[in-house]
Every structure is written in C-alpha cells, then in structure tokens.
Amino acid sequence: MSMTADRRLARTFVTLADTLVVDFDVLDFLALLAERSVEHLAVDAAGVILSDQRGGWRPAAGSSERADLLELFTAQTREGPCFDCVATGKPVTCADLRTAGAQTRWPRFSLAAAGSGFRAASAVPMRLRDQTVGALTLLNHEPVTLDPDTIEIGQALADVATIGILHQHAAARGELVAEQLEATLQQRTVIEQAKGVLAEYLAFDMHDAFTRLREYSHHHQRRLSEVARDLAGGTLRPSAFATTRSWPVEDQPASPPA
C-alpha cells in the first residue's frame, strides 16, 4: 500500500471515528463504510448485513443501490460466505464461486452471484465482544484471493462500524443492543420506500435515487432516515429533489419531525 493510499485509509478511519462524537446517521454511516471498503480493499462491491435480533439477518447498506446487488445481499442472509461468517464469528473467503466446492456448499448464493457478475466473495464479522451482530461482505468480479493484510484492514473497518452502529453508550448497556439494531433495520425499510418514490418521480434508477437522498440530507444537515421518512410520508415533496443546486424553502416540512 502506497503512502498516498495509507493517507486515504487513515482519513477514512478519522471520518468513521468522527461520526461517533455526536448523534450520527446510522444508515448513512453504513453506506459510507461500504463505499470506502470498495475504495481501500480493491474489491468491486461491498455490503453490510445486520442481525434482526429474531435469529435472522437482513441487508442494511451497500456500495451501490443496484437492484441485482441488493438481491444478492438479501440472498447471502440465507447462505454463502457472509452467512457462514456470522455463524462462526470469523472471516470467510472464497476465491472462486464457480468451483464445484463453492457451488455444492452455497448453491443458491453461487448462482445469484454469477447472475450479478461476481466470482469471488469474502466476509468479515461485525462483533460486539463475543456477539456477532452483522457482517461486511466484499465481492469481486474476477476470481481473486484477498491477502491477509486486506482481510485485516476489512476487519478493522468492520470493528469501527460495529462501535458506530451500536454507539458507545448503547454498547455499554447490553439491554439496548437489540433495540438499536431493530431501529436501524426499520429505518432501512423507510429508505427503500423513499427511494421508490424518488425513482419514479425523477425517472432515476435506485442507486441514483439513493445518492440524491444523501445529497439532500447532507446539504440540509438532516438525518438520512428523517428525510426518507418525510418523503415517504408525503410531508416532503419529491420536487424538492429535482436539483442539487436549489432547494426551495417551501418544499421543507412544515415543522421539524418529532
């Protein structure tokens, strides 16, 4: 890793850590984690799944909002390297999903990955002490074995993210962990609804709709989940997102959300 790459990675850790000093936006944070994982780990896509605290796993964020990629992240909640990772609490890697061994071990995931153009998959756990609360998945279009240094950096990013999504105060009180994770996944559902509204109005694909949501929330210094809730609920009109350069005052909610 070059000095320039080292500096970029250091800035990423600073950025992720900085979100912990105030009440931060969890879903925006996880999207940032996925995007920076692609940048620093030489992978083509990344995603995060979280425990729904009922014995299941659900996708929470991805480096892209492409429909086929989100479907693949959903498939990995039932089988694949990511599913094995959350079961064992240890990193799991597969250099080529088209091998007989991978197809026998993960038939549905291997098929879904091939359909989305991915040949290799790895996953590192998001752990709170001895509890695995999620995983960071790393995908490549070509067969590739991630080296130990890359896995170690990916694990470090996942560890920082775990602290972030649970927050230091919530993590210190174990009884709030389930509540915090459930709230994050409920917010993701609202994000999906808002993406649909915006995609239809602007004739965008889902990834561009999500990008516009984030741009709007950053510009107005509002939480992504709040903006999505207002858009999905009708108190914020989709016309407010028609341009990133002019955000009409009249298109804001009549009053701050409760």
Q: Using the predicted structure, report yes or no on whether residue 123 has a pLDDT greater than 70.
A: yes
**DSSP-based three-state secondary structure for 180:** helix
The pLDDT of residue 255 = 36
Which among 27, 16, 14 is positioned nearest to 184, based on CA atoms? 27
Section 205-220 average pLDDT: 91
Instruction: Identify the structural domains of the chain with CATH numbers, from first to last.
Output: 3-172 (3.30.450.40), 186-251 (1.10.10)
Residue-wise pLDDT tens digits, 10-64: 777 777 766 555 556 778 888 888 999 998 998 999 999 888 767 788 888 889 8
The pLDDT of residue 67 = 82
Which is higher by pLDDT, 197 or 173? 197
- What does DSSP assign to residue 236? S
4-8, 98-102, 114-118, range with the lowest pLDDT: 4-8
**DSSP-based three-state secondary structure for 149:** helix
The pLDDT of residue 257 = 36
- Give every strand in the sheet of 120-128, ordered side by side: 57-62, 45-51, 131-140, 120-128, 92-94
pTM of the model: 0.67
- Which pLDDT band holds residue 172 (cuts at 50, 70, 90)? very low
The pLDDT of residue 56 = 82
Section 152-168 average pLDDT: 81
**Please, what's the b/e burial string for 136-159 (b: 16 or more CB within 10 A of its CB; e: otherwise)?**
bbbbbeeebebeeebbebbbebbb
